[in-house]
């Protein structure tokens, strides 16, 4: 696994220099500081522009979205592979097959600043939790909206912990096939099957709404009752009926919330899931202030023609667009 991580990290850690016209290689030219606008952009943003790409951003009400890859899957219970996902999500996000506009009309090249810090240097040791937590805390404290590219779902626990450190408890909208509420799955309290148990028992979130669940067993049902979790099962799904938490809102999208027909690149194929459009329909109803998000559990080893990478990138783009609305909601 270490060999795989070493092969991925250098490219995804590559950061563009704030020199007009330069482009981040690993990001597929998603953002650049244009030759005619680079100086003005740098002036608006101050001296801290390392790793920032901006083309014609509006001078007023511009939010900064930070992207950070979390190449780890050491707490996966079945298959490994999601550690390789961040670089491929970036590649899909920067592909020339589509433009930079979201479905809401927000253009990622124009309406917000996107800062990519590359992948966090993780080594599957005990220090990874604190590294992730600190990254989330620093981004939130700086007024940025961090979007994390997983990685397995374990990462949501330290991410939310870091954001809560900076901003206080959040509310969570969570899409998944699984509730991830196990108290201690297979002897691993940091298992990707347990992040929301850790978050709720730690008081890091005051409300948790889970959407697309279709594997609820007796233990997780008890855990949901214990923490007051609101569950919208896949069998009962109606986009207009999904309760949307208030802000500050954190959104976590496990790719296996989708039916495998839409996203084969996941470790746990669970038929009967949501469609891409159904998840987008819920996201488009969000009016709360977004303080962070993640897209996790994409496993490239099981993907077909990169289609799941494109789906993950689509969610990243729409989440970034939600963040662009500022703090008025």
> Average pLDDT, whole number, for the chain?
81
- Say yes or no to pLDDT of 314 above 60: yes
Report residue 73: phi and psi, to 5°: -145, 25
| pLDDT score at 13 | 31
- Asked whether 119 and 69 are in contact (CB, 8 A), the reply is yes
Domain 2-323, what architecture? 3-Layer(aba) Sandwich (3.40)
The interaxial angle of helices 156-167 and 127-141, nearest 10 deg, is: 40
What integer is the mean pLDDT of 170-197?
86
210-221 pLDDT per residue, tens: 999 999 899 999
243-282 pLDDT per residue, tens: 999 999 999 999 999 999 999 999 888 899 999 999 999 9
Domain definitions of the chain by residue range = 2-323
- Tell me which of 240 and 8 has the higher pLDDT: 240
For the chain, the residue count is 329
β-sheet with 205-213: strand ranges across: 52-53, 113-119, 64-70, 145-150, 290-296, 249-254, 170-175, 205-213, 230-233
What integer is the mean pLDDT of 226-252?
96
73-118 pLDDT per residue, tens: 887 777 788 899 999 999 999 888 888 889 999 988 888 888 999 9
Spatial distance between the Cα atoms of 232 and 213, rounded to a whole number of angstroms: 7
26-71 pLDDT per residue, tens: 333 334 322 222 333 333 223 233 333 333 333 335 689 999 999 9
| pLDDT score at 179 | 86
Spatial distance between the Cα atoms of 48 and 56, rounded to a whole number of angstroms: 18
- Say yes or no to pLDDT of 124 above 70: yes
Report residue 209: phi and psi, to 5°: -110, 125
- Say yes or no to pLDDT of 155 above 70: yes
Q: How confident is the model at residue 19 (pLDDT cuts 50, 70, 90)?
A: very low
Specify the pTM. Answer: 0.81
- Say yes or no to pLDDT of 201 above 90: yes
């Amino acid at each position: 696994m270490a060999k795989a991580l070493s092969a991925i990290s250098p490219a995804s850690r590559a950061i563009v220099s704030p020199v007009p016209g330069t482009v981040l290689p690993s990001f597929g030219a998603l953002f650049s500081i244009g030759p005619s606008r680079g100086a003005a952009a740098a002036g608006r943003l101050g001296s801290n522009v390392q790793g920032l790409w901006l083309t014609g951003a509006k001078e007023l009400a511009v939010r900064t979205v930070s992207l950070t890859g979390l190449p780890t899957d050491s707490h996966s219970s079945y298959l490994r592979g999601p550690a390789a996902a961040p670089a491929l999500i970036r590649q899909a996000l920067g592909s020339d097959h589509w433009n930079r506009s979201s479905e809401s009309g927000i253009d990622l090249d124009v309406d917000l600043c996107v800062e990519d810090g590359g992948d966090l240097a993780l080594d599957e040791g005990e220090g990874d939790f604190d590294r992730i937590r600190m990254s989330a805390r620093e981004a939130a404290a700086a007024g940025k909206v961090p979007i994390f590219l997983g990685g397995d779902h374990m990462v949501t626990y330290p991410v939310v912990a870091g954001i809560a450190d900076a901003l206080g408890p959040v509310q969570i909208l969570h899409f998944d096939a699984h509730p991830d509420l196990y108290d201690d799955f297979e002897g691993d309290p940091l298992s990707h099957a347990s992040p929301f148990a850790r978050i709720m028992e730690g008081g890091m979130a005051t409300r948790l709404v889970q959407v697309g669940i279709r594997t609820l067993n007796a233990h997780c049902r008890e855990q949901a009752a214990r923490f007051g979790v609101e569950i919208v099962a896949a069998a009962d799904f109606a986009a207009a009926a999904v309760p949307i938490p208030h802000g500050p809102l954190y959104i976590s999208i496990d790719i296996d919330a989708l039916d495998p027909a839409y996203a084969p690149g996941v470790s746990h194929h669970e038929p009967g899931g949501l469609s891409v459009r159904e998840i987008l329909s819920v996201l488009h109803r969000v009016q709360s202030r977004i303080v962070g998000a993640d897209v996790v559990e994409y496993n490239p080893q099981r993907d077909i023609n990169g289609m799941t990478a494109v789906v993950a990138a689509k969610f990243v783009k729409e989440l970034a667009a939600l963040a662009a609305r500022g703090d008025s909601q």
